[in-house]
Structure 1
Amino acid sequence: MLDPHLPLPFQATVHPEARAARRLTWDSREASPDVAFVALPGERMHGNAFVEQALAAGAPFVLTDLDVPRAVRVPEAQAALFAWARAERAYAPLVVGVTGSAGKTTAKSYVAAALDALFMPVFNTMPAIACFLIEFGRSGRPLVVEMGIDRVGEMAELVDLVRPDVGVVTTIGPAHLEQLGSIEGIAREKGVILMDGPGQAVRGLVGEQASAYYPGVDSYGFGTVTHAGQNLTVSPQGASFTFEGVPVVLPLAARVQAEAAVLALTLARDAQLDLSEAAGRLAAVSVPGGRYRVHPGRFTVIDDAYNASPVAVRAALDALHGWGQPGGQGRRISVLGRMLELGPTERALHAEVGAYARERADLTFGVGAFAAELGERAVATVPELLSALLAEVRDGDVVLVKASRGISWTPERRAQEGVGLDVVVQALLERAGSLDDRPGT
């Protein structure tokens, strides 16, 4: 319980009617008798505009600079929230921070499973991370935090908040180039997670693909890396390998997920956990929809439509290429949409990805801007794509759907860009009769 009447790591005036809460939210719609509200500055409106709504919903207290009932009154709510988070984080026995141009959510999910840790489900903004640290810092369990960035200096701010004991970089590739400028800029900014923080020595780990950017930092994966899995086999049924003699089987997974599992087992070994038990937990890992989620049916749908960057699309295409049907039945079909925030080289990057798709898939579709670069069958809109794709797909095919959803844009800009292929995934699942919702990774 979060009791505002106990000593706080910031100066505050606590209203006598303020009560303890189970968790915090910065979204007033989530406020309830168990959930307190933090009034943060927003892009369009300040959270103070919703304090009365949160109080009406029964919020035990509100963190604000307003003089209202049940207020924990502070000069600046965001600064207070972050100070509170840093104080609570200090109680956690182990904090793992994960960043990278692709594969962050997958790595986070596998690490959490192996360590039997708590982790944030989706959001990775600083307010969300702060609320997570406050809620679970004293849980006694390890914490795993996804730390995504899209501007210079943001990783330093995140590291100051999270202060990870272990910093992980999964991959480095072109993403958020409009703000970060270059691949070298991306590597430099993400590499801040590997540096020693205030009063602590951070252990750094980097994926095999990212290791070239961080010489001397321990790496994980397969092949010539510091911490390696052995005897990797990838098939339509999943991935299998061994780690220090322990067999690992990951249903409906590909190489990217296997690499995340090696990272997870490396940390489990270092924490002196039973590796066989950790491997068993990895077999049941579930990630949110849109992140290489495999749906078997009359034809197989690979839902990887949450987000996209060139390195992530290439990895997904490699996974697609690994699918084959007995007796040569069925085709591998890629459905690709625009990758956002790639800067002035975006057309060339889309063309490179499209050329790779033609090598790895039997049939390629492109939609929206750069559709012709992405696929041999190019359409302008999602409705056109749906019509063409549903007329084409047949039993035994394997269909990969991947694009940027534009979640960093305003709704107006997202609509203008025309990205977001989750509706395509849903239509395919309905046509395939895919009732099996097992997460591949």
Structure 2
Amino acid sequence: MVDPLLPLPFAAAVHPEARPARRLTWDSRQVSPEVAFVALPGESMHGNRFVEAALAAGAPFVLTDLDVPRAVRVPDAHSALLAWAREQRALSPLVVGVTGSAGKTTAKSFVAAALDAHFMPVFNTMPAIACFLIELGASGRPLVVEMGIDRLGEMAELVDLVRPDVGVITSIGPAHLEQLGSIEGIVREKGVILRSVDGQPVRALVGAQAAAYYAGVDSYGFGDVTHAGEDLTVTPQGASFRFAGVPVTLPLAARVQAEAAVLALTLAQQAGVPLPEAAARLAAVSVPGGRYRVHPGRFTVIDDAYNASPVAVRAALDALSGWQGRRISVLGRMLELGPTEQELHAGVGAYARTHADLTFGVGAFAAELGERAFASVPELLDALLAEVRDGDVLLVKASRGISWTPEKRAREGVGLDVVVNALLAARDGLE
């Protein structure tokens, strides 16, 4: 519960009709009688333009500098939101921050399950994290925060807000190179999550792939790491291994999910959570759509279409190669890779050709990504639906959404979720 009637960590004039809310949002379309509105400045317009609409929708209160009904009136809503978040975060018994070039959302989901924690939804901007901390900081349960960055200095800002007790880096690879500049820049910027803040110690953990970049930091995964799972077996049915003698089974999972489970069990062990209980919760983890979600049937579709970077695509292709049947990769453009993007796409395409029996590419760099190249998704779909047959296993992966160049010109991702939906409809006879 978010209660503006309690003492606030900033100067505010609270309207007498303001009342507690269940949640906060800066998107006026999400406002309801249980969801309050924060009027934040945006790139093109200020949230104050939507205060009246939020009040009309029944907002319990609005955080704004305007003199309106149910206002929590402050000079600067953005500064007030962050101050409020810092105060509530301090009430949490344990905060885990997760970053990395790939695998953040998967790691976050598994850690939250093992710790029985609250965790950030997919949208992980600074305002979203602040609202999350305000809503749940005093819940008495651990919090897991995904901390993605795409510009220099952003991790320092996030760490100053979140103050994680545990900092995790899942992997390091070329991602957001247009802003971060180089692998060295990525290592440096993401590494901020591992450092103490104002003398507050941080437990630092890095995935096996990232360990080479952070000498001396405790690592997790399989093989030569500090916290290791043992006897890993990966099949089309899922992954299984043992951790500290406890058997773990993850249905329809691959190595990436198993590594996230080792991280989760490591943190559960350190927090005093009984490992059999944590392992049982891990077996039921369901990651959001588009993140290695397996749809079995007369042919199998692996939906990994939410986002893509070279390290993430290679990991997905590794998983694909372990399946029986004809293996088909369907790959689209990876965004924000900077001046070496053609070379990076060609490298991923070459990797695909060694891990899949048939490779499709679509959009920019389609020829680099696949033997069968298509300029648009409709053209790809026509060919793909004509080609697929029973027993095939199809991996679908690309960047979706929008990337901004330094000149602020928008570039669209491919949006291969459309392909996933079409394949599932065709497979199940819904067309």
For 1:364, what is the secondary structure of its paired residue? strand
AA at the equivalent of 1:171: S
| Percent of paired sites with the same residue | 84
Q: Does 2:339 correspond to 1:344?
A: yes
Q: CA RMSD in A?
A: 1.4
- How far off its partner does 1:33 sit? 1.0
Match for residue 188 of structure 2?
Answer: 188
Deviates more, 1:88-97 or 1:27-36: 27-36
In structure 2, the partner of 1:254 is 254
Structure 2 residue 93 is matched with structure 1 residue 93: yes
Question: In structure 2, which of residues 326, 330, 334 is the aligned counterpart of residue 331 of structure 1?
Answer: 326
Q: What is the CA–CA distance in structure 2 between the aligned matches of 1:107 and 1:386, rounded to whole Å?
A: 32
Aligned counterpart, 2:368:
373
Q: In the TM superposition, what is the alpha-carbon distance from 1:413 to its structure 2 partner?
A: 6.5
What is the CA distance between 1:409 and its match in structure 2?
Answer: 4.8
Aligned to 1:438: none
1:55 match: secondary structure? helix
Residue 62 of structure 2 corresponds to: 62
Tell me the alpha carbon deviations over residues 106-162 of structure 1, each in whole angstroms, 9 at most, x when there is no partner: 000000000000001211100000000000001000000000000000000000000
Counting only pairs closer than 5 Å after superposition, residues 188-227 of structure 1 correspond to structure 2 as: 188-227=188-227
Amino acid at match of 1:359: T
SS at match of 2:311: helix
Conserved 8 A contact 2:314-2:351: yes
Q: Does 1:157 align with 2:157?
A: yes
Letter in 1 for 2:344: L
Residues 363, 236 of structure 1: alpha-carbon distance in 2 compared, 3 angstrom cutoff: same
Which deviations, in whole Å up to 9, do the C-alpha atoms of 1:274-306 show, x marking residues without a partner? Answer: 101100100000111000000011100000000
Contact 2:313/2:348 (8 A) holds in 1: yes
Q: Is the 8 A contact 2:227 2:266 kept in 1?
A: yes
**Equivalence for 1:107:** 107
Deviations 1:317-365 (A, max 9, x none): 00000111xxxxx300000000000000000000000000000000000
Query: What is the match of residue 362 of structure 1?
Result: 357
Residue identity matched to 2:418: V
Q: Normalising by structure 1, what TM-score?
A: 0.95
CA deviations 1:176-220 (Å, max 9, x no partner) are 000000000001000000000124101100000000110000000
User: Offset at 1:32?
Assistant: 1.1
Q: Is the 8 A contact 1:368 1:418 kept in 2?
A: no
Conserved? CA contact 1:296–1:434, under 8 Å = no
Q: Which runs of 5+ in 2 are unaligned?
A: none
Q: Which residue identity is paired with 1:25?
A: T
Distance, in Å, in 1 between the alignment partners of 2:383 and 2:298 is 18
Residue 397 of structure 1: aligned partner = 392
* CA-CA distance at 1:6 after TM superposition: 1.2
**Normalised by the size of structure 2, how large is the TM-score?**
0.98
Q: Aligned in 2, Cα 1:24/1:398: closer, same or farther, shift over 3 Å?
A: same
> How far does the alpha carbon of each residue in 1:379-433 deviate from its partner, in whole angstroms, 9 at most, with x for none?
10000000000000000000000000034459x976x646110100000011122
* Contact kept in structure 1, 2:335 and 2:413, CA below 8 Å: no
Gaps of 5+ in 1: 325-329, 436-441
**Alignment partner of 1:91: what SS?**
coil
